[in-house]
């Protein structure tokens, strides 16, 4: 499984990205990476003329003129514009020509295009959508600044004086560990808060989830990265993962099954996992921009982006995709969205990752490659993303969990947690994928009582209100724990605390 996901690239020199304006808002350019020696190992892709491949094109500035030039360059180079995201200056394109990348750069003559990159090393299995081009999809199907509208009035959410447990709630050790039952004595969360679940889809007919889903703001992004709002496009097809994550966040308090961390909030199913289990960059980009424009306050991202566990900025294809996803996350943050991500299940210290043995994961044989400080696990290592490690019922770090001083923000239960499964079922699953939604739920509770707070304020409070947890005496899983009780590589600032999030 690629939940909690890796590149495909042509070996060329590193590319410098410059971004001065996105959708009228000023955004900082990507941080200059520290020197890295040696360079990351290139991954060559053998393209076949006539097969359809997917690309992202980043423009210098996100304005109509440069977007038009970039789209024209795609067409002149023999490609098809599948989706244009003017908000972030990114174009998703398909082409059957093996020299498409070079031709786009040549046609653009450096006037508008900053970088171009393959998003996968295999032909596009979903095909090229019929509704394409500048006059087709053209960009996000937006609702405007809904987030601003719903933060105009301070509200404490729904206060509960008498909390009646659901029948399986006694089995939810994870909720007790983070103080969720005590938090529910104060609030279950507000229905004005919407959590976007970027995952494999949510079973909208599940008895514990049917009342929780905002169907109007749910979407599928797996049609080549183009939004599909048809009624069941965002339902799960081959995976239980998204439904399990959704239940942890907001399973209803309804006298049936379990109760989520924030049972009073709403969920948007944002499907970014295709039927083969892959999350490609264009799917995630679609998901983040959708969340930004549809009133989402918090997103949960229990995956890494395929086909690379680490995307390296010193490889041109990987660097282009990395920059496109970074822009999408930055745009979501600018619109008031807090993004939460699973740290990963490789028992690796993300500060000292030097090899990647499982990428690319969608074609051929994975390359045993050297990675460096310009290589990132995305979205979890992107700026502004809350990174979550996993713990057991005894508060020990889960043996599979990634870690990293200055990377992990907080820890949460992720080993053998009970939640919803498609078909009105329930089951236990393990992974940092299961830890992340606990934190998304806590942030949803926090947003319910502090609706005017910005993402930065929420992250600061989340860290400050976590329960500080010291390093254990012995290493767990991979690398040993480093840091202090106040902030270390296993627990970050501590174990997430739902009660503190709604008290303060």
Residues with catalytic function: 199, 241, 433
Cα 289 from Cα 286, distance rounded (Å): 5
Within 8 A by CB and 6+ apart from 302, the residues are: 3, 4, 199, 241, 245, 341, 342, 431, 432, 433, 434, 436, 437
Handedness of CA 105, 108, 110, 113 (dihedral sign): negative
Cα 280 from Cα 119, distance rounded (Å): 7
Torsion, CA 166, CA 168, CA 172, CA 178, rounded to 10 = 0
For residue 384, give Cα distances in angstroms to 199, 313, 334, 458: 20, 18, 10, 11
**Do residues 338 and 443 lie in contact, with contact meaning Cβ atoms separated by under 8 Å?**
yes
Q: Which two tokens stand for residue 42?
A: 């290139």
Q: Interior CA angle at 119 toward 319 and 78, to 5°? A: 105
Cα 384 from Cα 327, distance rounded (Å): 12
Torsion, CA 426, CA 386, CA 201, CA 257, rounded to 10 = 20
Neighbouring-strand partners of residue 483: 488
Cα 205 from Cα 228, distance rounded (Å): 19
Q: Which of 375, 295, 279 is nearest to 332 (CA)?
A: 295
Q: Which of 437, 433, 440, 391 is nearest to 415 (CA)?
A: 391
Q: Which two tokens stand for residue 363?
A: 């074609």
Cα 195 from Cα 294, distance rounded (Å): 11
Q: Which two tokens stand for residue 479?
A: 């690398």
């Amino acid at each position: 499984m690629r939940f909690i996901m890796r590149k495909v690239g042509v070996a060329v020199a590193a590319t410098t990205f410059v971004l001065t304006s996105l959708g009228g808002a000023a955004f900082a350019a990507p941080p200059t990476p520290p020197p890295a020696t040696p360079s990351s190992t290139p991954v060559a892709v053998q393209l076949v003329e006539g097969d359809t491949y997917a690309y992202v094109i980043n423009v210098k500035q996100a304005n109509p003129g440069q977007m038009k030039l970039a789209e024209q360059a795609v067409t002149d180079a023999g490609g098809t514009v599948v989706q244009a995201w003017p908000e972030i200056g990114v174009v998703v394109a398909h082409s059957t020509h093996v020299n498409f990348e070079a031709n786009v750069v040549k046609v653009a003559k450096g006037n508008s295009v900053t970088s171009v990159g393959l998003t996968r090393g295999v032909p596009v299995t979903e095909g090229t959508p019929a509704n394409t081009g500048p006059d087709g999809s053209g960009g996000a199907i937006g609702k405007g600044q809904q987030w601003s509208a719903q933060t105009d009035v301070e509200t404490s959410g729904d206060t509960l004086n008498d909390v009646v447990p659901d029948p399986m709630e006694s089995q939810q050790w994870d909720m007790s560990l983070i103080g969720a039952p005590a938090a529910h004595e104060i609030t279950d969360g507000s229905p004005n808060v919407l959590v976007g679940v970027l995952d494999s889809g949510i079973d909208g007919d599940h008895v514990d989830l049917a009342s929780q889903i905002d169907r109007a703001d749910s979407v599928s992004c797996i049609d080549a990265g183009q939004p599909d709002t048809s009624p069941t496009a965002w339902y799960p097809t081959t995976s239980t993962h998204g439904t399990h994550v959704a239940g942890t966040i907001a399973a209803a308090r309804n006298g049936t099954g379990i109760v989520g961390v924030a049972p009073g909030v709403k969920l948007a199913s944002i499907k970014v996992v295709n039927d083969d289990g892959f999350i490609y960059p264009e799917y995630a980009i679609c998901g983040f921009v959708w969340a930004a424009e549809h009133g989402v306050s918090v997103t949960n991202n229990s995956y890494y982006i395929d086909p690379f566990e680490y995307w390296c900025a010193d490889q041109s294809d990987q660097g282009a995709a990395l920059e496109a996803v970074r822009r999408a996350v930055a745009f979501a943050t600018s619109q008031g969205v807090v993004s939460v991500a699973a740290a990963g299940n490789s028992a690796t210290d993300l500060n000292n990752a030097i090899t990647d043995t499982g990428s690319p994961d969608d074609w051929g044989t994975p390359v045993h490659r050297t990675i460096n400080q310009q290589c990132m696990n995305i979205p979890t290592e992107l700026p502004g993303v809350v990174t979550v490690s996993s713990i057991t019922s005894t508060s020990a770090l889960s043996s599979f969990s990634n870690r990293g001083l200055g990377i992990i923000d907080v820890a949460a239960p992720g080993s053998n947690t009970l939640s919803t499964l498609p078909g009105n079922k329930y089951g236990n699953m393990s992974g940092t994928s299961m830890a992340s939604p606990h934190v998304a739920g806590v942030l949803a509770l926090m947003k319910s009582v502090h609706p005017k707070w910005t993402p930065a304020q929420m992250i600061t409070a989340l860290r400050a209100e976590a329960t500080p947890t010291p390093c254990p005496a012995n290493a767990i899983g991979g690398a040993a724990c480093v840091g202090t009780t106040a902030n270390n590589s296993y627990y970050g600032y501590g174990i997430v605390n739902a009660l503190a999030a709604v008290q303060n």
